[in-house]
Amino acid sequence: MEVLWAPWRMEYILGEKEKECIFCVHKRQGTDEENLVLYKGRLTGVMMNKFPYNNGHLLVFPIRHVFCLDELNPEEMTDLMLKIRASISFLKKEMNPDGFNVGLNIGKVAGAGVEQHLHFHIVPRWVGDTSFMTILGEVRVIPEHLKATYRRLRPYYDQLLKEEG
């Protein structure tokens, strides 16, 4: 029997689970970097996934706590899509992926980890990024530390905030 060690997963397994909504960033304690928040706008936020599928895995969400798309007003829907587009552009410039998976899971049965606050996933993809580790060992290899990726992406969102005034 082969053993694959992934000790960093213990933080997630044994760690204290979030009691409050991770997307209600205006209520969170700590710095944006500690919370992996890249952007907090009037209507939309962007944060990195703490347990990513790949480097640069982003979560784009409405600031207002809503469950489903039909709860968004047209301004929120438009702003969400604009931030998804901007995020993809930033990832292309900084990380040069070959493609993206973009989507949302509505409801626990559909795979939503945080089912009460709507959020989109943006996952950069590279040719060959699914290796034998994922296929055989059910282990993902994330080659860059989350904080390093955060520091690479944050300037793009700082510039976006400046442009929005």
Residues recognised as catalytic:
119
- Using CA atoms, how far apart are residues 32 and 69, in angstroms rounded to an integer? 26
Of the candidates 57, 42, 50, 61, the one whose C-alpha atom is nearest the C-alpha of residue 153 is 57
Adjacency order of strands within the sheet including 37-40: 37-40, 44-48, 58-62, 120-125, 99-104
